[in-house]
Amino acid sequence: MPLSLAEIPLGGSAKVRSIEGPRTFRRRLLEMGLVPGTVVRVVTIAPLGDPLRIEVRHGQWSIRRNEAAQIEIEPP
């Protein structure tokens, strides 16, 4: 079972392996540059535990936990 982005500890980073989930969702993430091999860092978690704030290519995004679970990762 590969690790997903939702399982990275706060402050940790990882490399994207693949993106699962519906077609529109995958396309949106790939287009914003979350292509396999890209390094992602979990910067903060919102006060209520969700969503996550991630850093991708010098940009920061808010992404929900269940969506982050669709992003398979490997160690950087």
Partner 1 sequence: MTADADCHDAPPRPKRSDSRVPQIALAGNPNVGKTTLFNALTGSSAKVSNYPGITVERRTGALALPEGPADLHDLPGTYSLNARSAEEQITLDALVGLNGETAPDVVIVCLDATQLARSVYLLLQCRELGARVVGALTMVDEAGAAAPDARALGALVDCEVVAVTARTKRGLPDLVAAIDRALRVERRAVWKWTPSPALRAHLDAVTAALPKSWHSRARYGTELAGSDDAVALWALTCIDGSEHDADELVGVPAELRAAVLAQDTTRALDDEAVLARWAWLDREIPHVAHIKPDRSMTERIDRVLLHRAAGFVVFLGVMTVLFMSLFAWADPLIDGIDHGLKAFGGELRNVLGASIFTDFLVDGVIAGTGAVLVFLPQILLLFLFLGFLEDCGYLARVAYLMDRVMRSMNLHGRAFVPMLFGFACAVPAITATRTMERRRDRILTMMVVPLMTCSARLPVYTLVIGALIPSSRVTKGLLMVGMYAFSVTTSLIAAWLMSKTVKKLKAKRLPFIIELPPYRWPRLPDVLRMMWGKSSMFLREAGTVILACSIALWALLYFPRHLPEGSPDYAALVAQAPTEEAKQQVFALEQAAHLENSYGGRLGHAIEPVIAPLGFDWKIGVGLVGAFAAREVFVSTLGIVYAVGTDADAQSQPLRKALQEAKHSDGRTAYTPLVGLSLMIFFALAMQCMSTLAVVRRESGGFGWPIFLFSYMTVLAWTVSFLVFQGGKLLGFS
Residue 29 CB coordination number (10 Å): 21
**39 near partner 1, judged by CB under 8 A:** no
Residue of 15, 33, 39, 74 interacting with partner 1 (CB under 8 A): 33
**69 near partner 1, judged by CB under 8 A:** no
Q: How far is the CB of 41 from partner 1 (least distance, A)?
A: 12
Q: CA-CA distances (angstroms) from residue 73 to 27, 33, 70?
A: 17, 15, 10
Q: Which one-letter DSSP state was computed for residue 73?
A: E
Which stretches of the chain bind partner 1, using CB under 8 A? 21-33, 35-36, 43-44, 46-51, 53, 57-64, 67
